[in-house]
Amino acid sequence: MEHTWRWFGPNDPVTLGDVRQTDATGIVTALHHIPNGEVWTPEEIHRRQAEIEAAGLTWSVVESVPVHEHIKWGGPGRDEAVANYAQTLQNLGEAGLRTVCYNFMPVIDWARTDQRWQLPNGGYAMRFDFAAHAAFDIHILQRPGAADDYSAEDLERAEQWFARADDQARAALSETVLIGLPGSEESYDLDTLRGGLEPYADLDATAVRGNLAAFLREVVPAATASGVRLAIHPDDPPRPLFGLPRVVSDADDVQALLDAAPAVANGLTMCVGSFGSVPTNDVVAMTERFANRIHFAHLRNVTLEADGKSFFEDGHIDGGADMVAVIRALLREERRRSREEEDAIPIPLRPDHGHFLLDDLTRRTYPGYALIGRLKGLAQLRGIEAAVSAMLDAELGEQEGRS
């Protein structure tokens, strides 16, 4: 597998020189300065590519080419945004970039309620506390009808959280929820978040799923022609938030989107932590089932808490998912491709998120994207890969010996 590292461009506190020392060889990045929905020109793509190559690295995965909100809810700028997306895929393919990660989460992408939740070892992790999320939705955002989306137990826990939180805790929660994705220009205040939710007020999951299918039917042919493989990222966490439908949350959702455009170019990012954030997803089974359409792997792990809705980012080889079995399934698929596909490339993996450890505690980094914590995770993942690869080699030798 190809070992890659998420880098947010020239303003990232973790430099390309830092990345070189992690022994990652591939960079996962995007042109964050280009507004969503506009074309990424060949000039801009090559400029970023040259910057990365000058540091002795390779731009291996584009994460992400953002999908404009008008595509997700069917707004007036939808057709232009889809055409621009297809053109961007063509430009990326012509530059030799073959893997594009994206998501179809309306308005809010990955959501957490705590950026630095202290671990027993003194480090820090990100956490999603469902009671805090509900308290924000109902009592701080004051979304109309929000209380109808929660059980009586959830409402009571949200009320308790809000009652015991002081102004500082409420402000910290709001900042965490509204911060937006690292490296992007998209963040919210309460009013802009409320405004962003409005177009989805009358849309259910069926409608949003239909918009995703229509988008795929239009852009997958462009991806196929350009030699680009699309890898959709699952919902994070995989449950409705703020009344918004989430349509890439489980195996049925994945099967539906793959069926909507049944070409190899229409594929999946296996984000172990995202799918693993609800108890009903069997991440190993999903990896095995969809292996031939997995084009990128986000390898991180979470531990679910007692309510089954809250979780924290655990160590990459800890948490609820069997990371050894996941990597084994990916390596088996990678070997199949090398045997059967003339243009096969290694499956890129990256250590997604990471604990704040040691020097991270004094270094400025984006939430979830600490240097030392990810370095630790990458080392653990590489160790698993080496061990599993040796086991697969031994199994193959035994099979050949019996034949």
Strands 124-128 and 311-314 come out as antiparallel
Is 145 within a domain?
A: no
Could you list the active site residues?
Answer: 233, 271, 298, 352-353, 369
Structural domain total, the chain:
1
Is 334 within a domain?
A: yes
Is 213 within a domain?
A: yes
From first to last of its 403 residues, the chain has per-residue pLDDT tens of 999 999 999 999 999 999 999 999 999 999 999 999 999 999 999 999 999 999 999 999 999 999 999 999 999 999 999 999 999 999 999 999 999 999 999 998 889 999 999 999 999 999 999 999 999 999 999 999 999 999 999 999 999 999 999 999 999 999 999 986 555 556 688 999 999 999 999 999 999 999 999 999 999 999 999 999 999 999 999 999 999 999 999 999 999 999 999 999 999 999 999 999 999 999 999 999 999 999 999 999 999 999 999 999 999 999 999 999 999 999 999 999 999 998 889 999 999 999 999 999 998 888 889 999 999 999 999 999 999 999 999 987 777 677 6
Query: What is residue 272's predicted lDDT score, i.e. its pLDDT?
Result: 98
240 preceded by a cis bond (ω within 30 of 0): no
338: tokens are 């090398």
Where b means 16+ CB within 10 Å and e means fewer, 202-213 reads ebeeeebbebbb
Query: What is residue 386's predicted lDDT score, i.e. its pLDDT?
Result: 97
Where b means 16+ CB within 10 Å and e means fewer, 147-176 reads eebbeeebbebbeebbeebeeeebebbbeb
Is 188 within a domain?
A: no
- CA dist., res. 378 & res. 263, Å (int): 31
Using the 8-state DSSP alphabet, how is residue 65 labeled? -
pTM: 0.94
Is 383 within a domain?
A: yes
Q: Please report, for the domain that includes residue 307, its CATH number.
A: 3.20.20.150
Is 122 within a domain?
A: no
- CA dist., res. 63 & res. 27, Å (int): 10
- CA dist., res. 346 & res. 331, Å (int): 9
What residues make up the domain containing 40?
2-111+203-402
Is 67 within a domain?
A: yes
Is 70 within a domain?
A: yes
Query: What is residue 181's predicted lDDT score, i.e. its pLDDT?
Result: 59
